[in-house]
Amino acid sequence: MWSGIMASMEITVDDVKFLRSCVDAIVNLIEEGTLELGSDAMGVRAMDASQIAMVVFSAPKSAFAGYKVSGSEKVGVNFADLSKILGRGRSKDKLIIKRKENKLELEFRGKGSKRHFSLPLLEDAGGGQKEPKVEHDALVKIRGGEFKEMLRDVALVSSHLTMEAKGKEFMVSAKGDSAEMSAVSEKGEKKEFEVDAKKEARATFPLQYLDDIAKACPDDELMSIHLRSNKPVKLDYKIGKAGLTYYLAPRIEDE
């Protein structure tokens, strides 16, 4: 680990809440991972422990009040611990993040008080996986809040759901032991909803993963869902200037 010598960093955050939302969007899927710091952006690419889902996070330099990273640096971080520390930020605090040898130093500066946390860096926290390439047949754009409501409907009946796009319709359905459900969103009346299906697309996914993926999406934010029959779905949305992309493998049922 010579990176302490190779590079230095100092990141200033005015809106601690923004950074916490980003870290939560990662931590919902993976607990530990590698933060890649480039001179123009910060990013994370990681598979979840079960290798079923992947998260790709990227925030440009401009998302921060200050961003000084010379060269490129990789720091292994426990995102769960980092999220808890960010949760201690107060509304008017300024946050300065530095690396000091094998620690990540976080300093909250408020009126008449300074609070300082230091977090050990992890060696070999994994990460850096390649994104899967799938040509999708259908693209659905739906508000985060709307999609999360659909997932709550599903939760009443099953732990799996089927997503389907055809024509101008996007449908979520599930079948449980004691009840069944289906929810259809239709293009037309709602402005913030789009379906573009070159071909009918339909696949089945575990509910828990979609919950974890959608959780951090702001309710008003548009989420894009890229579907292809029985292929991994790609979901992406923005948190402020940062982008989150998720891939989730389908459940292939025997026929």
Q: Is 253 in the site for a copy of itself (CB under 8 A)?
A: no
Site string for a copy of itself, 134-163 (x = CB under 8 A): ------------x--x--xx--xx------
Instruction: Among 14, 40, 131, 186, indicate the residue that binds a copy of itself (CB under 8 A).
Output: 186
Nearer to a copy of itself, 65 or 156 (CB): 156
**Span of 2-10, 56-64, 77-85, 207-215 interacting with a copy of itself by CB under 8 A:** 77-85
d(CA 123, CA 75): 8
Helix H, strand E, coil C: the string for the chain is: CCHHHHCCEEEEECCHHHHHHHHHHHHCCCCEEEEEECCCEEEEEEECCCCCEEEEEEEEHHHCCEEEECCCEEEEEEHHHHHHHHCCCCCCCEEEEEEECCEEEEEEEECCEEEEEEEECECCCCCCCCCCCCCCCEEEEEEHHHHHHHHHHHHCCCCEEEEEEECCEEEEEEECCCCEEEEEEEECCECCEEEEECCCEEEEEEHHHHHHHHCCCCCCCEEEEEECCCCCEEEEEEECCEEEEEEECCCCCCC
**Span of 115-123, 202-210, 211-219, 241-249 interacting with a copy of itself by CB under 8 A:** 115-123
**Span of 24-32, 33-41, 107-115, 198-206 interacting with a copy of itself by CB under 8 A:** 107-115
Q: Is 112 in the site for a copy of itself (CB under 8 A)?
A: yes
Contact 48, 30 (CB under 8 A): yes
Nearer to a copy of itself, 139 or 183 (CB): 183
Contacts of a copy of itself in 15-44 (CB under 8 A): none
Q: How many residues bind a copy of itself (CB under 8 A)?
A: 36
Contact 22, 63 (CB under 8 A): no
Nearer to a copy of itself, 81 or 221 (CB): 81
Nearer to a copy of itself, 10 or 149 (CB): 149
Closest alpha carbon to 52 in 204, 216, 217 = 204
Nearer to a copy of itself, 17 or 152 (CB): 152
Q: Is 190 in the site for a copy of itself (CB under 8 A)?
A: yes
Instruction: Among 34, 78, 158, 245, indicate the residue that binds a copy of itself (CB under 8 A).
Output: 78
Nearer to a copy of itself, 202 or 231 (CB): 202
Query: Where on the chain is the footprint of a copy of itself (CB under 8 A)?
Result: 78, 81, 84-85, 88, 90, 111-120, 146, 149, 152-153, 156-157, 178-190, 193
